[in-house]
Amino acid sequence: MDNTIYLDNNATTPVAPEVREAMMPFLDRLYGNPSSIHTFGGQVKAHVDKARQRLADLVGCHPTEIIFTSCGTESDNTAITSALDCYPERRHLITTRVEHPGVKNLCQALGQGGRGRPLYRVTEIPVDAEGLLDVAAFEDALDDSTAVVSVMWANNETGVLFPVETVGALCRDRGVLFHTDAIQAVGKIPMDLADLPIDMLSLSGHKLHAPKGIGALYVRRGTRFSPHIIGGHQESNRRGGTESVPLIVALGKAAELAKQNLHKENTEVAALRDRLENDLLEKAPDAHVNGSREQRLPNTTNISFEYVEGEAILLMLDQHGICASSGSACTTGSLEPSHVLRAMGVPFTAAHGSIRFSLSIYNTREEIDKVLEVVPPIIQRLRQISPFGHDKAPAKSKA
């Protein structure tokens, strides 16, 4: 395991050692319930407050605007259903064709009706060949019946960034709530929510070196809100259930570290990613980057290697201890090509041979060198045995 080269950080990240250390007392002697009246429980509450402040500092908001949840998907679901609950007379949702399943599958379910809710009209805004949002189409779709707009900040598969400021401003003009799934963006690019026209924002701990099982939803002060999980008074009556203290503390620490590492993420990590990308494009013919290379997260590259199967590449990388992905981990098991690449019009043969490499501050130059050494021969070998690749390089033998 120690030789693993982990380039799948958009799926999940290693827990930072500082994060692990910060949460340990709360798995041990500080096990009190923050809602308890006794000192033993009450003292824990201060640590929850501190974590909330740290997370608020990362995204540039007030701590009362943060609601802790169990994951990014819960945050997405909460934001969207809250808007529907608060604006019951509006029966239209706008999202994009390239959202994460946490938004996409919920919106599709709402568009089919029957879940004890009225039927919603759902508009999925298209993207262009570079994966960039069709803002004109968005403007056309927005109307007075729109209950909520949910447009992701950064795409999980390509890293492409959407113009959330523009989208948010258009929403505000029309008096429509704007939610952004920023699960891939938080901790990778700077953000200052106080200055942005964003009403709700989802984030996830395990994408920024906290453990799996914790997320948060930012809800701008003054935004109408209706909880998705109703129970006790926790999170100021906005999310029932005993606070997951160890994971909340972990997320707070991870947020503090992410803020400190933001510069490194956008310089060193970006440079490693660029080196990986440029060298692969140079060494492997018929390879190209999916998505805009300008409007993009610093850590992500999605490369299509024509005429080969992405899963075959992944399996061979796996034998070398290199972890990468062919798309979202949340859609693994599906044989269909990525809905993101399809929405961009990437041809079938290229979409099937796409690999996402997603880096973190823990990756090293040596690791990237190793990947650059290993990948080109894998591609060459697979093309030799590919039914699509026979005209590129005649098959010599079957692996």
Interface of this chain with its own copies, residues 356 to 395, rule: CB under 8 A: none
Residue number, 227 or 285, with CB nearest to its own copies = 227
Catalytic residue among 61, 86, 171, 330: 330
Task: State yes or no: residue 31 binds its own copies (CB under 8 A).
Answer: yes
* 3-class DSSP assignment, residue 160: strand
Residue number, 229 or 372, with CB nearest to its own copies = 229
Q: Is the dihedral of CA 181, 363, 271, 56 positive or negative?
A: positive
Of the CA atoms within 13 Å of residue 362, those in its CB half-sphere come to 17
Find the binding residues for its own copies in span 283-312 (CB under 8 A). 311
Site string for its own copies, 177-196 (x = CB under 8 A): --------------------
CA 342 – CA 344 distance, rounded (Å): 5
174 within 8 A of 144, measured Cβ to Cβ: yes
- Applying CB under 8 A, among 59, 189, 200, 317 the residue interacting with its own copies is 317
Residues 6+ apart with CB under 8 A from 73: 100, 101, 102, 215
Residues 6+ apart with CB under 8 A from 151: 94, 95, 96, 99, 125, 133, 138, 162, 164, 167, 178, 179, 180, 181
Angle of CA points 97, 88, 115, to nearest 5°: 65
Task: State yes or no: residue 398 binds its own copies (CB under 8 A).
Answer: no
Nearest distance from C-beta of residue 340 to its own copies, angstroms: 14
Residue number, 60 or 321, with CB nearest to its own copies = 321
Q: In the annotation, is 330 catalytic?
A: yes
Nearest distance from C-beta of residue 224 to its own copies, angstroms: 12
CA 228 – CA 344 distance, rounded (Å): 33
211 within 8 A of 244, measured Cβ to Cβ: no
- Applying CB under 8 A, among 228, 296, 356, 381 the residue interacting with its own copies is 228
Residue number, 58 or 183, with CB nearest to its own copies = 183
Find the binding residues for its own copies in span 96-115 (CB under 8 A). 100-102, 105-106, 109, 114-115
Find the binding residues for its own copies in span 11-30 (CB under 8 A). 11-15, 20, 23, 26-30
